Structure 1
Amino acid sequence: MPLPTPPLAPTTVVGAHNYPDDLVAAIVRATEAAASACLPLVGSGDKNGVDELAVAAMRDALGRAPFDGTVVIGEGEKDEAPMLANGERLGTGAGPVCDVAVDPLDGTRLAAENLPGAVAVIALAPRGSMFDPRDVFYMQKLIAGAAAVGVLDVLASATQNATRLADALGKPIDDLVVGVLDKPRHASVVAELRGLGVRVHLVGEGDVSIAIAAATPGSGIDAVMGTGGTPEGIIAACAVRSLGGFMQGRLDPQSESQRAAAIAAGHDLHRVFTLDELVGSDRVLFVSTPVT
């Protein structure tokens, strides 16, 4: 049987002033429907099962939302999980014409194991404003609050960025807290940061939640460094832009086959994407409902 799960935490809404009230309410209902639907399988160990419940509930709710939406950033392709597919049309067709970034359950393993950090998220922006990273599933990201604008550089070393950020924030480097996904590929970055005295906050999953924290003053997380999911990166960019934070990204395939596919699709793997290039509009709506 699934483990007992506490009631859902409050939903976060950023950028509600950018869209009609009825559409904002519909998007909130969609994230809350996804979060509620998967609760019966929270703690069950069934990653795909809990994801299927969230996807079905979100798709149904978005189908009734008063907008003309096209999924630019869907989730599921990199591991063949259930998904709202790229190119899928959503909404009633009446209302704002939008790009849609969705992750019905960011942190499927966290939900399946009843660990903190799983969320249901949706972001909207005007049609054509979201970067479409098709065929590339991983992105190197550098995320922080407004103080990092013009200071940090995703191509610089962890040492350079940590030192610059500590100076910009006016705090000792050993008071700096940097979020990093707990993956083998980040072993050297973690060692480098700890060698400086930086406090590293390791995250098993949940690219989006830690990105929001990094862009939110007073959250306890000063920055995020390292490579995570590209779809989650675009969703995070919507939240970071709404919060007035800093973000840069660089496509970062994790195998030779992924690299070849990215190049074949015409992507420049040396290009550094600014926040404006990841989501090219201030008219962003970001909604997130915690699951665990």
Structure 2
Amino acid sequence: MTINTNGLILSQIAQTATEAAAIASAKLSGFGRKNDADQAAVDAMRRSFQTAPFSGKVVIGEGEIDEAPMLYIGEELGAGGIKTDIAVDPLEGTKLCASDAPNAMTVVALALEGGLLHAPDMYMDKLAIGPGYAPGLIDLDLSPTENVTRLAKAKDVPLSEIRACLLDRPRHAHIIEELRKAGVGIRLIPDGDVAGVFWTTEAFRSGIDIYFGSGGAPEGVLAAAAIRCAGGQMQARLMPETEQEAERARSMGRDVHAKLTLDDMVPGDVVFAASGVTHGSMFDAVHFEHHNAHVDTLVWDSFNKRKSRVRSIWPDA
């Protein structure tokens, strides 16, 4: 077996970064201070990247340089090495962490330079399923009913055994109504649509078969990295709400009407890592015992077709 050393190096960098951020934010879980928890995760992740053996550039981050002092888009990090695109959500679910609610996590995707879509900060319509299905099974241009019908047929189950996930937002009311009429079960989540897409990659664990609806475009690219590693399917389309947003997308070379495929969002190999902060559908929470932090992490490396679940212990955390 041939080992791709880039994948191994990036996997270790991603794992260390998500675990450091998870520990930092978990110390503030349940205290109602979502901004402080987010800042703690950002600071810890940034410190981890600063000494990592790569030449990284943030392409999906906490905002533009004038909006975010840490991990801003365009920021360069690392001690030198592989030229790498960085996509991060240092704390996916800041409100969830603040209230110690389920499914807060930290997320990183790393690809070789040019390997991640530079997505403008606007809404993106998303549709995703996990691995094991014939290519082209789902299509963003089809109705929700047609997509779940195709999925149920492929799984050889009735529609009542399909579970869809959507953000609980008024803009999704028409999709929810249509899916309920079709007889599909729905999990509505308050925040964290990276997690919602991510859940489809391990439906046996999460109970989620398909993801629908709109959320942030940067989060869509992070989610696409997970789908790429898992061998699932995803399509998306940018949804500018103003002419200014549409013009910004065009200035980045994006066709706001185009249907984006997985190859558009993550054209090459990628490493995806996520660590649990609070307990959830895919992770155990960080817990502290005898001055040690115990962290539950998934690291997926498409360079080497490797998927790892890691339970780390950080001393004196």
- Give the aligned partner of residue 231 of structure 2: 244
Distance in 2, Cα, partners of 1:174 & 1:266: 42
Name the CA shift for 1:97/1:257 in 2 (closer, same or farther; >3 Å): closer
SS at match of 2:256: coil
Deviations 1:26-79 (A, max 9, x none): 3212111111111232112222111111000000011111111111111346xx
What is the TM-score of this pair, normalised by structure 1? 0.87
Cα contact 2:10–2:271 (8 A) shared by 1: no
Distance in 2, Cα, partners of 1:83 & 1:175: 43
Match status 1:144 vs 2:129: yes
Distance in 1, Cα, partners of 2:146 & 2:5: 37
Cα contact 2:127–2:211 (8 A) shared by 1: yes
Name the CA shift for 1:200/1:62 in 2 (closer, same or farther; >3 Å): same
The structure whose residues are more often strand, as a share, is 2
- Give the aligned partner of residue 186 of structure 2: 200
Cα contact 1:55–1:82 (8 A) shared by 2: no
Deviation above 6 Å: which 4+ runs of structure 1? none
- Give the letter aligned to residue 142 of structure 1: L
Name the CA shift for 1:224/1:148 in 2 (closer, same or farther; >3 Å): farther
Residue 231 of structure 1, aligned match among 218, 226, 229? 218
- Give the aligned partner of residue 22 of structure 2: 35
1:81, distance to aligned residue in structure 2 (A): 6.3
Cα contact 1:149–1:245 (8 A) shared by 2: no
- Count of paired positions: 272
- Give the aligned partner of residue 221 of structure 1: 208
Give the superposed CA RMSD. Answer: 2.0
What is the TM-score of this pair, normalised by structure 2? 0.80
Structure with larger RCO (C-alpha < 8 A, sep 6+): 1
1:179, distance to aligned residue in structure 2 (A): 0.5
- Give the aligned partner of residue 267 of structure 1: 254
In the alignment, structure 2 segments of 5+ residues that lack a partner are 279-317
Match status 1:163 vs 2:149: yes
- Give the aligned partner of residue 277 of structure 2: 291
SS at match of 1:99: strand
Percent of aligned positions with the same letter in both sequences? 45
In the alignment, structure 1 segments of 5+ residues that lack a partner are 1-15
- Give the letter aligned to residue 253 of structure 1: P
Name the CA shift for 1:286/1:188 in 2 (closer, same or farther; >3 Å): same
Name the CA shift for 1:46/1:81 in 2 (closer, same or farther; >3 Å): farther
Residue 110 of structure 1, aligned match among 87, 92, 96? 96
Distance in 2, Cα, partners of 1:69 & 1:189: 39
